[in-house]
Amino acid sequence: MVEVVGGSTVPAGGEMTLRGKRALVTGAASGIGHAVALHLSGLGAGVTFSDLDPARLAVVTRGVDGARAIAADLSDPVQVERLAREAGPVDILVNNAGLQHVSPIESFEVEKWDRLLAVMLTAPFLLTRALLPAMYGRGWGRIINVASVHGLVASPYKVAYVSAKHGLLGLTKTVALEAAARGGNISVSAVCPSYVRTPLVETQIVDQARIRGIAESDVVEDVLLERNAVKRLIEPEEVARAVGFLCADSAWSMTGAAMTLDAGWLAH
């Protein structure tokens, strides 16, 4: 037996399901995005996986019920708008795609700055602008921006990443206010994890060791986990479960909020 609650369904046993919903997850070929896409699929949503590499997308969507794959370079606004057209209609948008470049600001290439801001701030803006009106029309929607603890605080040598993630939280709050004024069950929120065990984090280790003049083996403990109260990397699946929670009707009050998963970083 299934009880209908708002826009989602809750089986008699109480477990949420997203059956009948369509989700778009960017950066879904690996890391957090892949875990989120699989988790939402497991909850019953039909998920569109988007990432840069079509071959990798073909691999990660194989055998996933209801999955679609759309390759797009999110640094290109034309491709972002194409992605929105091909993916729609979408009930759940997860803006997750990201990249990193570690460098002192005086040697931080403008091209790197432009690409990071395009992928992590402009693309979420464009996708939200394109997909939100149909959510208004249906009276239900979830926009979840995967930010970072670096959307709330800063670390050296990451000027573009930190700037983009701070901007993403500003986008989250602004759109949440606009959506609330339109009524319906539409929420816009962000998740802000500290370091997660992903390829993006692993590629930072060499750069951090070089810039700081320390051994690569010391980077995780002395740099990545330095501010964590709990000295553990977060697993992608743990972030995915937080995203799943924000999709529930019962999470409506989280709109405009930044959910921190920071292992005690901000408690200091």
Q: Which amino acid is at 234?
A: I
CATH code matching the domain that covers 2-195+235-261, chosen among 3.20.20.70, 3.30.70.2860, 3.40.50.720, 3.40.50.970 = 3.40.50.720
Beta strands in 6-78 (DSSP E): 8-11, 22-26, 46-51, 68-71
For 153-190, b/e burial (b = at least 16 CB within 10 A) is: bebebbbbbbbbbbbbbebbbebbeebeeeebbbbbbb
Q: Of 136, 157, 161, 195, which is the active-site residue? A: 161
pLDDT score, position 8: 52
pLDDT score, position 22: 98
Tell me the pLDDT tens digit for each residue of 127-181. Answer: 999 999 999 999 999 999 999 999 999 999 999 999 999 999 999 999 999 999 9
Tell me the pLDDT tens digit for each residue of 109-128. Answer: 999 999 999 999 999 999 99
Tell me the pLDDT tens digit for each residue of 79-113. Answer: 999 999 999 899 999 999 999 999 999 999 999 99
Tell me the pLDDT tens digit for each residue of 223-243. Answer: 888 899 998 889 999 999 999
Q: What is the mean pLDDT of the chain?
A: 92
Assigned token pair, 224: 């990545």
Element (H, E) at 260: strand 258-261
Q: Which residue has the higher pLDDT, 192 or 9?
A: 192
Q: Which residues contact 82 (CB under 8 A, 6 or more apart)?
A: 72
Tally Cβ neighbours within 10 Å of residue 221: 10
Distance of alpha carbon 144 from alpha carbon 127, whole angstroms: 12
Element (H, E) at 211: helix 204-212
Which range among 167-171, 192-196, 198-202 shows the weakest confidence by mean pLDDT? Answer: 198-202
Distance of alpha carbon 181 from alpha carbon 169, whole angstroms: 19
Question: Which of 132, 96, 257, 249 has the alpha carbon at shortest distance from 189?
Answer: 257
How large a percentage of the chain has pLDDT more than 70?
94
Decide if 161 is catalytic.
Answer: yes
Query: In Å, what is the CA distance from 82 to each residue of 56, 78, 189, 199, 201?
Result: 19, 6, 24, 27, 29
Distance of alpha carbon 85 from alpha carbon 198, whole angstroms: 29
Distance of alpha carbon 191 from alpha carbon 205, whole angstroms: 23
Q: Which residues contact 105 (CB under 8 A, 6 or more apart)?
A: 159
* Confidence label for 14 from pLDDT (cuts 50, 70 and 90): low
Residue 12 has pLDDT above 60, yes or no: no
Domain locations in the chain? 2-195+235-261
